[in-house]
Structure 1
Amino acid sequence: MKKYIGIDIGGTSVKYGLVDEKGSVSNKNSFKTKADDKTGLLDDLVEAVKEVQKIAPDVLGIGVSMPGVVQADGYLTTAGAIYGFYEINLKVLLEAKTGLPVKIENDANAAAIAEKWIGSAQGIHDYISLVLGTGVGGALVINDQIYRGAHARSGEFGWMIVEDDDIDVEMGSLNFRGATVIGLIRRYNQFSDEKIDDARIIFERADQDETLAKNVLKSYYHSLAKGIINLEVSFDPAAVIIGGGISANTEFLNDLNKMIESIKATHNSIKNLDLPEVKAAKLKNDAGMIGAVYQLINN
């Protein structure tokens, strides 16, 4: 069984583990991200690689998932909250320090391609992946390949404008209307005396017939549904897959699909089209490691 090292660099922590050629992850561990310390974080990554190599000396390479604008050659134009890694070629640096082949992939792209390997997109060649978290990230897969765009910025779906806001255009973007944190939770907290940090509370309160929770959820679904419809009519995917913690909520997915159908029914040009149903991503916390290793194997 061929084995690889998977690494998922996040703003708070770095997860890593052993990934085999079938996508199974074992021997997982993590450490705190030194986001502003280029040398310190790079040293920590090398130590993590050595730790996994003690368990599996025959690993064939390293797949790294991380935020930011990641060029195909491993150059990081940006790196999200990992400010110490801006404008470096992480692939070149890690290969020099470990002697192993390395593949660097944007985290949303990695999660999307992991779903193709062993998740909800198996057997699907053209699909859109959305990740709902603090903001809205995602990826566009065409003919089994990640579409990166001219500047490696494809998939920044959160920047789409889905509502009018004459004062601050960004407040009408999908990030601020359809994300879980700066969308749903932020908007609920705007009108609530009690501040919350868990979207599940909003769903619970809506089930208890709280007017604020019901209204905020309706507005949230409406904005997110419009964004998804825009993507569906633009790219004609066979599937739309949603990841992020909220995707595990079956009530959320059912109500979102109902809202999409409701909006579609009032749009004469598309009301008779067969748009794909939105479904949940299968893979959770390990998706970044799995997808980065998949890209390593196939590149």
Structure 2
Amino acid sequence: MGGTSIKYGLVDSNGNIIHKGAIATGFEKEELLQNLTIIVDEYVSGSSGGVKGIGISMPGIVKENGFLLTAGAIQSFFGLNLKQEIEERTGIFTKIENDANAVAIAEKWLGNASDKRNYVCVILGTGVGGGIVINDQVYRGHNGMAGEFGWMIIDGIKDITDIETKSITQRAAIVCGLINQYNIQARKRKEKEVTDAREIFQKEEDGEQLAIEVVDQFLDDLAVGILNLIGCFDPEIILIGGAISSNEIFIKRIQKRLIMLEKKHQSMSFLIGKGLPSVVATKLKNDAGILGAVYQVKIAQEQLNKEMSK
């Protein structure tokens, strides 16, 4: 579930996606819950083997019991126990997972972290989300808030009323960061604003000075954020997710910019070639959220079956 659309699918226990679809999200609570129920009912009626579980990945601070402290842009779900709501409406076991955590889980199951025990996922989109895996376990923190990398502050907070304007999200996300920073400068220069990051990269390639400056700062800000994560978590690998992760040129530019910063960091430069993590794109792309949510259901049911067999 995202702020724009709900992507859904039917998945088997091996992670094969049998069917996929999508609908617009909508933000009214009851309508949204009804739409989720309809999706499940259609799969239940059309599946010969039955539906054994429901996994939902979504933005926000998600507690392990399915209670949503926040829900990204879906404000009508704030303070809702979504697990309880879905189970009452469908009668089917349900797990709710933060979307960035779901990506991290999916990459461990079927992606580029299958042989890693300690790694970090950085999800670039409207904001900057993250999934942290320590010793093969997702680290959630006290409130389920761990991984809100976009909240990190990077510089220049003196005399600023809202210091979140200096956060990673508002400097190094794709929408709130790159696009927003470009448009702020475009308005000052009375130039045309953009709505798509691809336009900015194309303008940069075409030699537009504004795009060159904004992209350069964007790459620096994102690399600084990643450098801080390396110092905090010492991961084996850092995975970059979100739609932009499909852009191989972008991934190479981030890798190059990060290496440049590591060389300029006196303490970290000593560790170059001695185990600093590589930065790679996620493998599962737009399917990661669905697969990560389903895997949580799979594991929970396997544990339940073991307990029942004792």
Deviation of 1:229 after TM superposition, in Å, equals 0.6
Matches of 2:23 and 2:233, distance apart in 1:
39
Question: What is the letter of the counterpart of residue 47 of structure 2?
Answer: A
CA–CA separation in structure 2 for the residues paired with 1:71 and 1:197: 33
- 144-153 or 280-289, larger mean C-alpha shift: 280-289
Aligned counterpart, 2:235: 237
Match runs of 1:251-262 below 5 Å: 251-262=249-260
Structure 1 unaligned regions, length at least 5: 1-8
Q: Percent identity?
A: 48
User: Is the counterpart of residue 178 in structure 1 residue 177 in structure 2?
Assistant: no
Show the counterpart of 2:307. none
When normalised by structure 2's length, the TM-score is 0.90
CA deviations on 1:186-221 (whole Å, 9 max, x unpaired) are: 111222201111112222222222222221111111
Aligned to 1:18: 10
SS in 2 for 1:270: helix
TM-score by length of 1: 0.93
Which of 97, 103, 113 does residue 105 from structure 2 map onto? 113
Partners of 1:11 and 1:198 in 2: CA distance = 17
Pairing partner for 1:54 from 45, 53, 64: 45
Report Cα offsets for 1:56-93 as digits up to 9, x if no partner.
14221111111111100111111122222221211122
Q: Tell me how far apart the structure 2 counterparts of residues 250 and 27 of structure 1 sit (CA, whole Å).
A: 27
Give the distance between the partners of 1:140 and 1:41, measured in 2 at CA. 29
1:13-34, CA deviations, whole angstroms, 9 ceiling, x for partnerless residues? 2221101112121222222223
Q: Is structure 2 residue 201 aligned with structure 1 residue 200?
A: no
Aligned to 2:245: 247
Partner of 2:290: 289
Query: What secondary structure, in the 3-state scheme, does the structure 1 residue paired with 2:286 have?
Result: coil
- Provide structure 2 residue ranges, at least 5 long, that are not aligned to the other structure: 301-310
Per the alignment, residue 33 of structure 1 pairs with: 25
Superposed CA RMSD in Å reads: 1.4
Q: CA offsets, 1:85-144, max 9 Å, x none?
A: 221211122112212111111111111211111112111111000111111011101122
In the TM superposition, 1:215-234 aligns within 5 A as 215-234=213-232
Secondary structure class of the residue paired with 1:81: coil
Match of 1:6 in 2: none
Structure 1 letter corresponding to 2:211 = A
| Alpha-carbon shift at residue 284 of structure 1 (Å) | 2.0
Q: Give 2:264's aligned residue.
A: 266
Q: Which amino acid aligns with 1:20?
A: D
- 2:120 corresponds in structure 1 to 128
Distance (whole Å) between structure 1 residues aligned to residue 34 and residue 213 of structure 2 = 49
| In 2: Cα distance, 1:98 partner to 1:265 partner | 55
Higher helix share: 2
* Aligned amino acid, residue 256 of structure 1: I
1:242 Cα offset (Å): 0.5
Q: Name 1:3's counterpart in structure 2.
A: none
Deviations 1:228-278 (A, max 9, x none): 010011100001000112212222111111111111111111102132121
Number of equivalences: 290
Contact 1:163 1:223 (8 Å CA) reproduced: no
